[in-house]
Structures are given as C-alpha cells and as structure tokens.
Structure 1
Amino acid sequence: MNKTATILMLSLAGSMLLACGGKAPEQATPVKADPTEHNATIVNTAEHKVVVYQVFTRLFGNQNTTNTPWGTLEQNGVGKFADFTPEALSAIKAMGTSHIWYTGVPHHALVRDYSAYGISHDDPDVIKGRAGSPYAVKDYYNVNPDLATDPANRLAEFEALIKRTHQHDMKVLIDIVPNHVARAYQSLSNPPGVTDFGANDDTSVEYKRDNNFYYVPGQPFNVPAFPASYKVLGGDAHPAADGKFNETPAKWTGNGSRAAQPDFDDWYETVKINYGVRPDGSYDFDKLPADYADKDWPAHYAFWQGKDVPDSWLKFRDITQYWLDKGVDGFRYDMAEMVPVEFWSYLNSHIKHKNPDAFLLAEVYQPHLYRDYIRLGKMDYLYDKVEFYDSLKLVMQGKGPTSTLVETQQRMADIEHHMLHFLENHDEQRIAAPEFAGDAKKGMPAMVVSATISTSPTMLYFGQDVGEPGAEDAGFGKASRTTIFDYWGVPHHQRWMNGGKFDGGALSAEELTLHNFYKTLLSFTASAPALMGEYTELHSANLAAGTAYSEQQLAFARYNDRQKLLIVSHFNSENGVSFGLTLPAELITKWQLADGRYPLTDKLTDTQYTLQVANGVGTVALQLAPLASVILEL
C-alpha cells in the first residue's frame, strides 16, 4: 500500500499506538561503522555485506503480456512458486543475493473464486484491486492460492520453494503484518489449539485487553463513499460488488480510523490489531525498563517469561514460530512503528530464541523512533527511507547536494549497520518513472553510493536492474509504481526472463548493460571485506581542493586490514568531469603509504588507475563520464 499519506499522518498527529519512544593511529575525527555501539543485540561478525532481492512473487514469473487494466487472472496471467526454477534462482544468486524477500506470500483477500478448495469468498467492496493487497492477510497459516500450480497443494509448493532457495545458498524472508489483517480474516489451516483473530472477542465494548480488535459498539461497518473516479473492479459486474460489507459491530480500520465508515484514503480493506494499547494511548501491559536498550535478546527473552501479555502478542508469536518451523529464515514487518515497541521485544526475542540467525527487517518511518526499535525492539534492520533514501532521491533528481549524504551518514553512524539501503521497493516509484528520475541510468551512481557507503544490507527490487519504469495504470495500481494490487505482467522484467531462460536474452542493449552493471556491482559488494570495515568521507577535502570536484560528485574510502577502496560517483547526467581526487594526509597515514605510485583497479570496469602519493598526500587523476562511478581497489 502507498504509505505517503500515512507517514505524513504519523509525523503530524503522533499515533497513540507508537512506542516512546591498516594499523596506523586513528585519524582525528573518524566516522566508523560500529554496530555494537549502544546495542548489545547485534554484533557484526559477518565478513561480507547482505544483499536482499525483493521480488513481488505474484508478478515475477508471469510471462503474459496482455496487461488489460483490471484484468482477471485468466486475462493477464499470474506468477507461480514454480516459476522460481533453478535457472531463475541461479540468476538471482548471481547478483550477489544472500536473502530473497518473497513479497505477498501469506494468503490475503482477493476476488478470485477458490470455493472449490474450501476458501470463502472475499468481498470486492473491501479489496483493493482484483488480485488484492498482500497487506490484507486473510490466513496467516497458509499461502496465496494464486501462487500455486495446484491450490489444494499450495503450502507444500511453498515449502518446496523454501527448499530450492536454500539449495541455491539463499535465505527466505516473508511478510508479517502485525498492525492489521483483512476485514474477513478466516484461517483454514490453524494448528491445533490456535483460534482465529477475533474469535473470542467481546464485541460489546470498544476495548478489552485480550480482544484482538477494537470495535465501534452498536454501529455496523459501512463501505467508504468511493470517489466518482473509482469503480470497484473497474466497473465490471460482480454479484458481491454492491457497496455493502457485513461487519457488525464495525471494527477500527487498519490505519487507526475509528469511524464505522472509513474514508477511501484509509486502509479500509483492513482492521486494526489490538496489542493492549487503550484508546487513550496508555499501555495495558508491562513496560520495558529503559536499561533494556543495552541488553541482548536473551535478556529480553528472560524478561518476558512468566509475564501476562495480551492475546494478540501470543497469536503473532505462534504465527512466526510456525513459519520458522517451515524453514523461513526471517521476516519483513509492515508498518512496525504502529505497534508498541514492547511487543517487538517480546516477539523478536522469541524468534531469536528459536533461530538466533533470523533476519528481522521493519518499516519505521520516524527517525526519532529508530534507535528505540533497534535497541528496545530488537530489530536487526530498519528501512533507511526518511534519512538516506530521501536525501539520495533528491540528488538523483538534481534537487539536492551530495553533502547531505555525507551529513546523513555521519549522523547515523551509531546505527548505520541496522539501516537497510534501497533505491526501489514495492511502495516507492520506479527510478525510470518520469515522476522519479525519468531515466534508469540515474540510478547507477546512486546505487554505487547506496550499496557501498555503509555496512548496512542493500536491497534490490526485481526489475530495477533492467530499468522497469512501472509505466502502466494496471487498475487499482497507478503508473510510476509496479502494481501490487492487480494481475499484471512487468515488461522489462519479462525480457530478462526470456521465456524462462532467465538469461536476459530478450533485453535491449541498453537494458542488458544496466543489468550487467547491477550484477557486477552487487556481486562485488557481497564479496568485498572492506565494505564491512571503516568509512572515511573524502567529500569535504575535495570540495576544498579547488578542482572541478563539486556537489555533483561524492567520494569516500572504505577499508579494513584486508582491502582498501576509493569510491567516487558522478551524478551529472549530461556532462562528464575531470579532476584530481585528493586523499588527505590522515588517510594516507592510516593506510601507511609512503610517497610513491600505487596501482588501482576499478572493480566495475577493470580499468587501471594510479594513486600518486607526494609529501604524504594522495592524488588520483579521474575522468568520469556522465553518471559514471569508480570503485578503486588499492
């Protein structure tokens, strides 16, 4: 779902559900990535960076090119678990991928009739699109039947995909959406002793601690008043598209709306989960002592033993434990900031107790909450959207200076290892879309910076590597973002699939060049030990050097005792630039370089350069084409 309006709402209103939140001497003011500082939970022992490949599972393997707006599955096709063949997984692995985030796996509400498999009908009046939002989960103990070759065997097909992914040396991530579920949640696959959300609720009251939902007593739910521009299913006839949905009493809507008739811009297809937060915002559970920010997950796990916690906490504990048992290696949490941080301490410590290596990634869009959700909530990683991505987007659009990136990196140094970097995901506009940069090549210098400036994981969204612009209005999904609501084919990505060969054979020369750039860059980052080491910004020294270096370039060094790198990106799309890159004396001393000449190799192109050290200061002569970057290894 598009989070823009919600982020604004949270920042302005302050939701009542948010929690409170070499070996030479060190240079004088180093900026060093230290994931253990202030946080005993995550100790960075990895030698190489994590690379996450996010794939929208429903779209990935679809080879149908019809693309009729509001089209049915039969018209437009759908991708399957089976489309992740050994060839597909090998091609994904070749891009340096360590983790695949299979987006949209849990069974969510959708319009298609699966009653032959015992699945109840979903009402199109409370579904976004025809294929439905992956964030309106209907059954947490099963998977989307659209994704299975045989819907009756859908869970086994996903288990087979987990196994195939592991055989290709990659980990599996899936979505968990603790803040809300579909309006008509109904699990067909609950393990023994597990009841559905809301099954035991007292619906006569707005709030009770162990209710799973909040209620509007005495009032039935009413479908939003849709704007004239919107027609359910694009106006196609459907027996249940009658402007009605039976829910009595009405429940609070997923984004926190307490109205019996939410607005069209609300998350009306979902209902809010109650975590023991009273309607006045006070907590109905034990709070974590402040010093638990400095304690590890075993201490958090021990804290919650014997505590009486709300029923919703137990339900999500059971859900995550179920998927860990299936072989899932971690979770991406939707809108984590809308759920209290104590719950995350409880849930994540229970996950780590079962699998200490589990990968836990969360959406949190308010920077003042970042450290609480990492240190108290025991998240491994958060989206670095509001800080690094937003700043980098402005640079790509020619609206911001690269100095902002230097300042952001330094300000986030204490938690930079925990801040996942990306340029695209399912919520954000495609780089090639006119609404963003209008040219996929403008993502090239940005991706170099994003993937190398810190020890954080890097995420690549499927289709980004071939310049997919998300140009079509698919129905509920609109241009600039690849739809997550509709049955659709993704044209540029389909050319990379090349009929199931996954060799890029149908790409244009320009698309293939872009793909090979991403493949070279990300496979390098996944194997470069320096990127888990230290960082020194070279931007300030080079701005002061009086050369052609400007706010359209960004330069920094990454290094450890095994590898030394100089990284320079040029963001101008029209003109090249030539200058001598300055390496200040502090860095030369740290690298223990005597005066002389040192060979450098660009890891992106294998081009050779020379570092000249004279009087303790280094210089590299660079000539960069528009949108070019170099990663120079000493």
Structure 2
Amino acid sequence: MKKLNNVLAVLIVSIVVGCSTEKVPEVKVMSKNGKKKTVVYQVFTRLFGNTNTTNKPWGTIEENGVGKFNDFTDKALTEIKDLGVTHIWYTGVPHHDVIRDYTAFGISNDDPDVVKGRAGSPYAVKDYYNVNPDLAVNVANRLQEFEALIERSHKNGLKVIIDIVPNHVARNYQSLSNPKGTKDFGVDDNKDVVYDVNNNFYYTPNEAFQVPDFLNNYQPLGGENYPLSDHKFEENPAKWTGNGSRSVKPSFYDWYETVKVNYGVSPEGKKDFDELPAGFENEDYKKHFEFWQDKTVPNSWIKFRDIALYWTAKGVDGFRYDMAEMVPVEFWSFMNSAIKMKNPNAFLLAEVYNPKMYRDYIKNGKMDYLYDKVALYDTIKHVMQGHGLTDNIPPIQEDLKDIEHNMLHFLENHDEQRIASPEFAGNALKGKPAMVVSTTISTAPTMVYFGQEFGEDGSENAGFGAPSRTSIFDYVGVPSLQRWVNEKNFDGGKSTKEETALRDFYKRLLNFTIKSDALMGEYEDIHKFNRENTANYTTKLLSFVRYSENEKLIIVSNFDAEKTSEFQLKIPSEIIKNWNLKDGTYQLKDKLYNSKTFNLEVVNFHGTISLIVNPLESYILQLQ
C-alpha cells in the first residue's frame, strides 16, 4: 500500500456556548429520544482473520487462506467496539456457492460455470438456513460456531447485522437445514408456465438454461482443469436470471449465477397481491403488521419472512437487504413489520439507488435506513477526486431534509472502490475531510468498511474482478488489515506509523460522533453565506452547524490536499440569535487531539472565527 504522507484532513469546530464572562455550566449529553449516532462496521467475514499473505490469483483456501468465525475473538471484537462502532455487519454469512468439496458433510458441489470466483459471491445464496462452510473450523458445527459469534458480539457490546438477498438466489439453491415444515424455493412450482403468483421463480418452459459466452478471455477458476468446468449447467426449464434477464442464455454481464425470485408480479407488471391503502405511509409498523394478517400473499413472501424471523430468533439484530428496490414495496411492509413485531429495535438497512423511491421504501416499506449513494457519496467522491465543488453538498441535505436520518452515509463498502486506490482518490488521507462531513452533517448512521481505517487500497489481483475493490469473490488477504491483525493479536503490531495514525483519527472521530448530543440535533448550512461574504473561502471548503440544547457545533472542512486556507469564518446572525449569544469572546479548545485553542468573537449578533486550515487538517474545538 502507498504510504500515507499528508497531514490531517478537516477542521471541525465544536462549540458549547456560554458568555465568556460567565461560568460555563456542565454539559449534560442528552440527545432527543435518548438516541445517539450509530456506526456500522462492515466486515467481509472470510477475509478478516486471514493471516496468509500469498495472494495467488484464483488461489485455493490451502494456498491463500481464509478467515473463520472464531477469528473474531473477544480481543478483536473489543478493538472493533473501541473504534467507535455500535453495529457489526458480518458480510457473506449465509451459505452461498463456493468451489470447494464439502460432500463429506452432505453439501453438493457447486459448478464454476455459474459461480463468480473460487470463494463465490455472497449474493448467490444456496442455503438461507445455514452458513458458509468456509467460515467454520468444524464444518459440521458451522451454524453453532456462528451462533457463538452472535453471542460473543453481544457480550462485547456490538449489535449483529447479516445480509438477506431477497431478489435472487443461487441457480442451484438447496437447503440442507430447513426447519421442519419448511420447503425449498421452487419445490412446489408449476414449471410448465412462465408465471404463477405462488411460483418462487419465473420460467421459460420447454427450454434449457445455457451458460453465457465468457468474454474478455475470462475462464472459470482462471482456466484450471476442474471436473464441473465444462461450460454446462443443467437447468430445465430455464429460470429467469437474477437481474431480470429472460434469456435462456444470459449475457456475461448479467447476474447469470443467480435466478430471480417471483414476488407475485406478472411479466406484464401486474401485482397479484393487495396494495397498501392511501395514507398508510403514516402508519407505524404495528398497523402494517395488522394489515397483512387477513391477506393472502405470494409464497415467496412467506419464505423470506420466515428466513428473517429464523435469524432474528437466533439473536441477529438486523439485516442489510441487497438490491431492495427490485422487490415490491408491499413485500417490505409485510416482512419488516413482522420483524419489528419480534424486535422493535431491529436495524433494517436497504440498498436502494433510485431517489424517487426513497420515501416509499422508508414510509411504506418500513425500512430504517437506505444507502445515501447517488446523492452524498457520489457528490463527495467528486470533491475528493478534485473535480467536484463543495457547493453541491448543502443542497443534498435540503432535498433530503424530511428523511435525512434514514440515509446511511459511507465512503467505502464492498461494491465501491477503496479511497486509497488510484481509481478513486489515490490517497487515504483525502478521506479525512469526507469522513468528518459524512459523519457529522446529519443524524444518519455512519458505515465504515473494514480496512478503510488503515487506508487499504484494494490493489490485489485475486482472480475474478479487478483491483480497486477488495475482492468479494476469491480467497485473498487484506495487507493493511493483516498488519493490524498481527498474527491474531489484533494490536497493530505490524502496522506502519501512517496506518496507526489513520486508525487513530477514525477512532477519535467515530467515538466523538457516537457521544455527541448536537449530532442528533439540528442542522443549518453556513457554507453559502461564507461563499458570498467571506474572502478566501473557496469551493474546497465546506461549513455547517449542528446544535442541540446542550451542545453547539460548527463544522468546517478543507478538501484541498495542497493549499492552506486562511479566512474569517462568519456565523450568520440568525444562528447567533438562535443560540442566544451575547457580545463577547468564547474560547474553544481542540477535543480531537487536545492541542489548540481558538476564539469565537461575537459582536452585535455577528460571529467570526479566525482560521488557518492546512491541507487536510482537522480540529474539534469546545468551549472551556
């Protein structure tokens, strides 16, 4: 990984307000409704504890190694918790297709012609009632090992999230662990018709599936001679492919390793189920649950609800739903209300990319959180890359004002490029101003992807796919994380000083956010005011305020990696009046690194702070 060689990324000014001549009362950190910011740590489970550094393209478990559930020791979980994390998303837990022989345990072999990578995609689930056998020390006890991890996570103060992929399953779905009375997907389907409301899949009768033509010199397993790698896969009649392709021979760029689940929507788009009444978006989950009690719903709805309740009963605290917008919103009302009836505090996160659908999935679908990808992430990425303007960020908050709490913020996840990769920013330190903005601009949760806190650059060529994203398809090591794992001591014993410093930044920032009262309070933009009224205030800077009754914050971020900015930050009179500030000088002390102090000068309802913001520098200042 390229060494981190710049200085700190942002300026946050945190002000607890009081007259400079009066004694400052003790700050009682109380947020509205008693809630605080949430931080989700997404970890790709099979990569976390892997200490093997071979990284051979298309390497086997024996060659490249694999992490296990048991690698999440009390020490590891304590360190993750202490990073400032409240929830841990174990990615890739449900049993998905893998290219490894587990027939000794009754598990059928998977065909590399319809599996992406050697370790397989976590989004081609083969058995929803069990877990990935790769992750177990004792494969026969793999479910018990994950149950122990749930318990261990809870003991260490972490809530547990896993994936559910409702839109599609692996082409060869076969559960070995169905609870009594539960049938596999497709077992009772009428395969002589394209569509039936209670079929789990869509079919092309009388035609067999054909493996797609592989492009760009792609060969399964890198061309290795493997018994099932014959460009054939038996599926007759052919099912529709996961992304909706109806072709019996899907494209190489289709989700050909999966089949689409039928939720009672006909090929013509007709919904063969009850729709929610007008105005029901204002009803709570209990009313939604009641609504469905006397309704007949498609069979696939029941199957996925039962899967979610199965894992909820095992102590899973929430779910991340893959490609949720490809499934009708009425299903989400049905399923999420059922989960909330069992666990009102369940954390329900959906991957939704269509802004026109946001409110429907939140209000009618009863989602807690959606990805803020196409708005905040895409915009802030352009700023980090140097060709976007910070002017474009405040309008996002205005547009999402009514649902800002529901829009989860992230800078990395398994689908996105690593910040430090040349394809993104090429320097992990450019993520610092973005992290401060992302974590402090709203009440929404923050998500951090494992290795992000070390500046991982995703440069390994693991086999399927390309560098810049840490592979989710193959057995591979994550170098910067491995240095921190340090032969499973989880102490950073082999980390570089740059990696240690970056993780320290993340730890300080995330812990501040989950304790701050103001970050669950109000937001006001001051960027536009300063762009119009402040000399030397550029489109590389961003400023806004966050406040509650007990705490007042001013956030200023410098995204410029080369130039220092010196200016008089202005606080508009409306905010000064709202905060009941009298004329005077208010001393501010850095709380991120406990190093410097600044002054807020208030004269006739106008506030100014003299600031020198170095390239990618950061402060959190608080009144003493």
TM class by shorter chain equals over 0.9
- Letter of the 2:422 counterpart: P
Q: Equivalent residue for 1:469?
A: 457
Which residue, 125, 132, 136 being the options, matches 1:144? 132
1:610 CA drift (Å): 1.1
Q: Equivalent residue for 2:326?
A: 338
| Residues 1:559 and 2:543 aligned together | no
| Residues 1:625 and 2:614 aligned together | yes
Residue pairs, 1:302-451, within 5 angstroms: 302-451=290-439
Which residue, 531, 535, 560 being the options, matches 1:543? 531
- Letter of the 2:212 counterpart: P
Call closer, same or farther: CA 1:228–1:540 in 2, change over 3 Å. closer
Over residues 572-623 of structure 1, what are the superposed CA-to-partner deviations in whole Å (9 max), with x where a residue is unaligned? 0011111111111111111111111111122322221111111211111111
Q: Equivalent residue for 2:605?
A: 616
Residue pairs, 1:222-261, within 5 angstroms: 222-261=210-249
Task: Decide whether the 8 Å contact of 1:566 with 1:631 is kept in 2.
Answer: no
| Residues 1:523 and 2:511 aligned together | yes
Task: Decide whether the 8 Å contact of 2:124 with 2:168 is kept in 1.
Answer: yes
1:511 CA drift (Å): 1.3
1:44 CA drift (Å): 7.1
Indicate the SS of the match to 1:629. Answer: coil
Q: Equivalent residue for 2:11?
A: none
Over residues 251-289 of structure 1, what are the superposed CA-to-partner deviations in whole Å (9 max), with x where a residue is unaligned? 000000000000000000000000000000110100111
CA distance in 2, matches of 1:546, 1:325: 56
Q: TM-score, normalised by structure 1?
A: 0.93
- Letter of the 1:52 counterpart: V
CA distance in 2, matches of 1:44, 1:143: 39
CA distance in 2, matches of 1:566, 1:554: 11
Task: Decide whether the 8 Å contact of 1:569 with 1:630 is kept in 2.
Answer: no
Indicate the SS of the match to 1:544. Answer: helix
CA distance in 2, matches of 1:632, 1:545: 23
Which residue, 191, 195, 199 being the options, matches 2:187? 199
Q: Equivalent residue for 2:81?
A: 93
Task: Decide whether the 8 Å contact of 1:23 with 1:561 is kept in 2.
Answer: no
Task: Decide whether the 8 Å contact of 1:128 with 1:485 is kept in 2.
Answer: yes
Residue pairs, 1:63-102, within 5 angstroms: 63-102=51-90
Aligned length: 595
More RCO (CA 8 Å, sep 6+): 2
- Letter of the 1:630 counterpart: Y
- Letter of the 1:281 counterpart: G
Q: Equivalent residue for 1:497?
A: 485
Over residues 494-521 of structure 1, what are the superposed CA-to-partner deviations in whole Å (9 max), with x where a residue is unaligned? 1111221212221111111111100100
Q: Equivalent residue for 2:3?
A: none
Alignment RMSD: 1.3
Residue pairs, 1:129-168, within 5 angstroms: 129-168=117-156
1:131 CA drift (Å): 0.2
Of 254-263 and 532-541, the range deviating more from structure 2:
532-541
Indicate the SS of the match to 1:45. Answer: helix
CA distance in 1, matches of 2:82, 2:241: 42
Residue pairs, 1:254-273, within 5 angstroms: 254-273=242-261
Q: Equivalent residue for 2:95?
A: 107
Over residues 329-363 of structure 1, what are the superposed CA-to-partner deviations in whole Å (9 max), with x where a residue is unaligned? 00000000000000000000000011100000000
Task: Decide whether the 8 Å contact of 2:573 with 2:606 is kept in 1.
Answer: yes
Indicate the SS of the match to 2:310. Answer: helix
1:564 CA drift (Å): 1.2
CA distance in 2, matches of 1:473, 1:366: 32
Task: Decide whether the 8 Å contact of 1:571 with 1:628 is kept in 2.
Answer: no
Can you give the 5+ residue segments of structure 2 that lack an aligned partner in the other structure?
Answer: 1-15, 19-30
1:631 CA drift (Å): 2.9
Over residues 358-379 of structure 1, what are the superposed CA-to-partner deviations in whole Å (9 max), with x where a residue is unaligned? 0000000000000000001000
Q: Equivalent residue for 2:474?
A: 486
1:410 CA drift (Å): 1.1
Task: Decide whether the 8 Å contact of 2:49 with 2:67 is kept in 1.
Answer: yes
Task: Decide whether the 8 Å contact of 2:17 with 2:581 is kept in 1.
Answer: no
Indicate the SS of the match to 2:487. Answer: helix
CA distance in 2, matches of 1:228, 1:102: 32
Task: Decide whether the 8 Å contact of 2:32 with 2:521 is kept in 1.
Answer: no
Indicate the SS of the match to 2:566. Answer: strand
| Residues 1:126 and 2:114 aligned together | yes
- Letter of the 1:616 counterpart: F
Task: Decide whether the 8 Å contact of 2:534 with 2:567 is kept in 1.
Answer: no
Task: Decide whether the 8 Å contact of 1:173 with 1:332 is kept in 2.
Answer: yes
- Letter of the 1:340 counterpart: P
- Letter of the 1:550 counterpart: T
Q: Equivalent residue for 2:576?
A: 588
Can you give the 5+ residue segments of structure 1 that lack an aligned partner in the other structure?
Answer: 1-21, 25-42
CA distance in 2, matches of 1:626, 1:94: 28
Task: Decide whether the 8 Å contact of 2:534 with 2:570 is kept in 1.
Answer: no
